[in-house]
Amino acid sequence: MLRCGCNLCLPMIRPDDERTRQIAAAAAIVLGVGAVVSAILLLWPRIPGVFGEWLGLVAGVVTTPFFMEASFAVLGLSLVIALNQWRHKKAGDELVYLEQVEPEAGLPEHAAWAVFKEPPLHVEMPTALEQAEGALAIRDCATAGEILAGMTADELRQPATLAIRIELAKASGLHNLACTLEAELNAVQGKVGA
């Protein structure tokens, strides 16, 4: 197996290995057909009954000029179709889904698309609260503050939003604001509990 210089890359298959497998498969098919035809030609007179007569008919067709070429052509075509069906079932469907990122995302062109065998899941746009939680989780306080600034006054008084605001105030070093928001959160939860 060939490897690149780093340990992260998966082992690659050499093209010679694939070609060797293809040649071996083709040789096995040709030798198998030759063995079957030779067996039919040698053994059909020794097999009694209808099966022996049927093999004699097949041997006659296979060895008759014009029919011999046609029978081998049909046999070869049948083998090619059978192998193609087997490889198609093994490899799976060729249909893929192409997911493309918006051009304003700032990604390089080769990274702006991805190919999936399964259909991609439907993605819903996250709410403003979920966006603020995500920004706070990655310690992007500026973005979290901008998202919270875009909320209405009623949304800012919700317990989940107050919890995010408290975390943001603590992460920003505004401990007095965090205490004020905690008192407001306790008041809101007290009203809900009553």
pLDDT tens-digit readout, 148-171: 888 887 777 788 888 888 888 888
How many angstroms separate the CA atoms of 110 and 103, rounded? 12
pLDDT at 121 over 60: yes
User: Residue 9 — pLDDT band, cuts 50, 70, 90?
Assistant: very low
What pTM was computed for the model? Answer: 0.38
CA-to-CA dists, residue 185 to 46, 169, 193, angstroms = 97, 14, 12
Q: Which helix (H) or strand (E) holds 113?
A: strand 113-116
Q: In the prediction, which pLDDT does 8 show?
A: 47
- pLDDT greater than 50 at residue 110: yes
- Token pair 């022996």: residue: 52
Interval 13-43: pLDDT, tens: 566 777 888 888 889 988 988 898 888 888 8
> Could you give phi then psi for residue 13, rounded to 5 degrees?
-90, 130
pLDDT at 6 over 60: no
